């Protein structure tokens, strides 16, 4: 009864209240409408349920991730299981080695965010998400792939269209096709003459004589955009909102940048940008006392599991000083986010540079105080700010 009430009063912009109620009443709850493929779907809202599902990939397969976007994205590691996933992930993970991330930090991440801030510094006011933060990770990905910066707006648009493809397949398919047409000559060029960039790494990566085939290369490059840009810019926006709206926090971070690590982890725990991951049951199973039949879809709400009352005190509160900051924002198990060191680095450097380059940064009181909104993808929609042009800590 209580969970029926919770589902009925579901506010798609503010789902935390519903998730809290489901954690207390029915941690694995059926949704009364089937998903796009006609599958019975369950929401999994507790940490124990999330762990059970994500750590048992034989019973809970990732193949469901290929059912919709897979029709135009091509083969993606996100939708693979077992041996194939393991070997493909190994071939790709070499491109994200620690030395590369350190190089990207020096050569791309810091210069790109510094330049984006410099472009607005004299104005004294901005809508930071539109003008800076949303442009930042996509430019980093273009840089990683040695794609000219001037083409990054096209990649930003393709990333948005690929996302929309879940609801509007024609748009997603068109973006995927345009992206491939753009990338084909680059892939061929890097095949013939490898450079020090991610596309060359992916094209030439071999393990035991195996390499990615062409479809897998384009599938991965297409995944990189939505996986790497939208999630990171949204998480960075939420972290900045937390810094600017938590009393005293902006001053603490200004005088002690080491606090940024805690701000980032607490943001990821408190309200991560990607709220859920999908799985499909390969056989009948029992999750948190709820029978789930073979073929059912499960939406594991990591954003809810991170507020599990059994794990955290006052889980709804953003508290940078909490010690129970453990979270599963990057997932768990074999598909755990491949880009998490990069995401953390981008968030850290992004926030550091924004606070340095935009002096006395504060929310613009002429606008309503922003809040984090959204169901599957969460972040503030806009951050109107005021600042002074200066360089200091």
Question: Interface with ligand HEM by CB under 6 A: which residues?
Answer: 62, 77-78, 89, 223-224, 227-228, 231-232, 235, 272-274, 277, 302, 329-331, 335, 337-339, 342-343
Q: Coil, strand or helix: which one is 141?
A: helix
Whichever of 330 and 387 has its CB closer to ligand HEM, that residue is 330
Q: Of 120 and 129, which CB lies nearer to ligand HEM in the complex structure? A: 129
Q: Are 391 and 353 in contact (CB under 8 A)?
A: no
Question: Cβ 230 to ligand HEM, closest distance in Å?
Answer: 9
Closer of 35 and 364 to ligand HEM (Cβ) = 35
In terms of CB distance, is 86 or 123 closer to ligand HEM?
A: 86
Instruction: Compute the distance between CA of residue 252 and CA of residue 150 in angstroms, rounded to an integer.
Output: 37
Give the nearer residue to ligand HEM in terms of CB position, either 93 or 393. Answer: 93
CB 101 within 8 A of CB 348: no
CA distance 232 to 141: 11
Name the minimum Å distance from CB 140 to ligand HEM.
Answer: 8
Name residues whose C-beta falls within 8 Å of residue 247's C-beta, 6 or more positions apart in sequence: none
Q: How far is the CB of 231 from ligand HEM (least distance, A)?
A: 4
Toward ligand HEM, which CB reaches closer, 7 or 337? 337
Output 180 or 234, the one with its CB closest to ligand HEM. Answer: 234
Using a 10 angstrom Cβ sphere, with 0-12 exposed, 13-18 middle and 19 or more buried, the burial of residue 195 is exposed
CB of 235 to ligand HEM, least distance (A): 4
Question: 40 to each of 57, 69, 92, how far by Cα in Å?
Answer: 19, 19, 33
Nearest distance from C-beta of residue 305 to ligand HEM, angstroms: 11
- In this structure, which long-range contacts are made by residues 178-181, counting pairs with CB atoms below 8 Å and at least 24 apart in sequence? 178/154, 179/155, 179/218, 179/221, 179/222, 179/225, 180/218, 180/222
46 token code pair = 């507790």
In the complex, minimum distance from the CB of residue 123 to ligand HEM, in angstroms, rounded to a whole number: 28
Rounded distance, CA 322 to CA 270, Å? 11
As measured in angstroms, the least distance from the Cβ of 335 to ligand HEM is 3
* HSE (side-chain half, CA atoms, 13 Å) at 76: 25
The owner of tokens 């990821």 is 268
CB atoms within 10 A of CB 316: 13
Specify the residue, 29 or 379, whose C-beta has the smaller distance to ligand HEM. Answer: 379
Supply 363's token pair.
């929310």
Query: Which residue's CB comes closest to ligand HEM?
Result: 339
The shares of helix, strand and coil residues in the chain, as percent rounded to the nearest 5, are 55, 15, 30
Distance in Å, CB of 254 to ligand HEM, minimum? 23
């Amino acid at each position: 009864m209580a969970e029926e009430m919770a589902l009925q009063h579901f506010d798609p912009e503010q789902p935390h209240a519903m998730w809290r109620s489901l954690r207390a009443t029915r941690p694995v709850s059926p949704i009364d409408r089937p998903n796009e493929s006609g599958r019975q779907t369950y929401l999994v809202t507790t940490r124990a349920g999330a762990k059970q599902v994500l750590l048992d990939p034989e019973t809970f397969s990732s193949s469901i991730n290929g059912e919709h976007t897979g029709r135009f994205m091509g083969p993606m590691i996100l939708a693979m299981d077992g041996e194939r996933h393991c070997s493909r992930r190994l071939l790709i993970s070499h491109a994200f080695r620690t030395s590369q991330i350190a190089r990207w930090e020096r050569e791309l991440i810091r210069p790109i965010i510094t330049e984006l801030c410099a472009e607005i510094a004299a104005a004294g006011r901005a809508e930071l998400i539109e003008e800076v933060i949303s442009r930042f990770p996509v430019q980093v990905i273009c840089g990683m792939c040695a794609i000219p910066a001037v083409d990054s707006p096209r990649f930003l648009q393709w990333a948005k269209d690929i996302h929309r493809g879940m609801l509007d397949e024609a748009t997603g398919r068109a973006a995927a096709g345009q992206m491939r047409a753009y990338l084909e000559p680059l892939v061929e060029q890097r095949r013939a003459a490898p450079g020090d960039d991610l596309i060359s790494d992916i094209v030439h990566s071999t393990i035991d004589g195996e390499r990615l085939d062409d479809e897998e290369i384009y599938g991965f490059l297409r995944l990189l955009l939505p996986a790497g840009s939208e999630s990171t810019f949204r998480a960075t926006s939420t972290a900045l909102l937390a810094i600017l709206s938590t009393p005293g926090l902006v001053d603490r971070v200004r005088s002690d940048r080491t606090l940024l690590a805690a701000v980032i982890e607490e943001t990821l725990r408190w309200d991560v940008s990607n709220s859920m991951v999908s799985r499909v049951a390969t056989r009948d199973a029992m999750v948190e006392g709820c029978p789930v039949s073979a073929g059912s879809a499960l939406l594991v709400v990591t954003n809810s599991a991170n507020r599990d009352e059994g794990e955290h005190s006052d889980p709804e509160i953003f508290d940078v000083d909490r010690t129970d900051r453990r979270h599963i924002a990057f997932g768990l198990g074999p598909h755990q986010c491949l880009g998490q060191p990069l995401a953390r680095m981008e968030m850290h450097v992004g926030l550091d540079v924004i606070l340095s380059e935009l002096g006395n940064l504060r929310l613009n009181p002429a606008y309503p105080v922003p809040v984090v909104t959204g169901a599957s993808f969460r972040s503030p929609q806009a951050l109107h700010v005021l600042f002074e042009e200066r360089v200091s800590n």
